[in-house]
Structure 1
Amino acid sequence: MSAAANPLRGEAELRIGGRAHVLRPSFAALVAAEAELGPLFALVERAADGGLTLSELAALFWHCLAERPEALTREAVGEAVVAGGLAAVTPALRVLLGQILQGR
């Protein structure tokens, strides 16, 4: 399991299966997310317009996981989003989108 999220590094926390995981929007993570989801600025615009899909949200979180335990699957990330509800994951999403727009 990852250490606690460090907001000074632009990190956020996501609970998956009752465990806290660190989301770190590193360059490599964002490049991987962009390769799958398209331009990040367009992703931010879709989020601002309320058009971000559940699969896009899960994909962004998946790519930004600082550590992925071998047993953790992408489906588990998506299920954690559904189980916790959008209100529970919005703070983490807000941090990641802020880092995309502002950088560190």
Structure 2
Amino acid sequence: MSGANALRGEAELRVDGAVLVLRPSFAALVAAEEELGPLFALVERAADGRLGLGEMACLFWHCVRDRSDGLTREAVGEAVVAAGLAGATPALRVLLGQILQGR
């Protein structure tokens, strides 16, 4: 899998030794919004330090660019836990920036 393309607002997340590319496409963000509520409120919660671990994993799950058949949502969540907040924050920052700024 090729790396993330910064010009497309993509980020990377390591899951089980593989690097997943997270791309905040329209379809991905609509799916995340259907589950999490308005994205602007999500950004506000993140800015206030009130973004939940499940919310972060959900956003990442919906933004995975190329989902293999074996990849599960639980694996993405476990990757967030394994990386810790410090490890997952760079990807989150990229996605939230794209939500606010667009391309």
| Deviation of 1:3 (Å) | 1.8
Quick one: percent identity of the two aligned structures? Answer: 77
Aligned twin of 1:21: 20
Letter in 2 for 1:5: A
2:70 is paired with a residue whose SS is: coil
Unaligned runs of 5+ in 1: none
Question: After TM superposition, what 4+ stretches of structure 1 lie above 3 angstroms from structure 2?
Answer: none
Unaligned runs of 5+ in 2: none
How high is the TM-score relative to the length of structure 2?
0.98
CA RMSD of aligned residues (A): 0.5
Letter in 2 for 1:43: L
1:35 is paired with a residue whose SS is: helix
Equivalent residues, number: 103
Aligned twin of 1:83: 82
* CA deviations over 1:56-85 (Å, ceiling 9, x no partner): 000000000001110000000000000111
Aligned twin of 1:61: 60
How high is the TM-score relative to the length of structure 1?
0.97
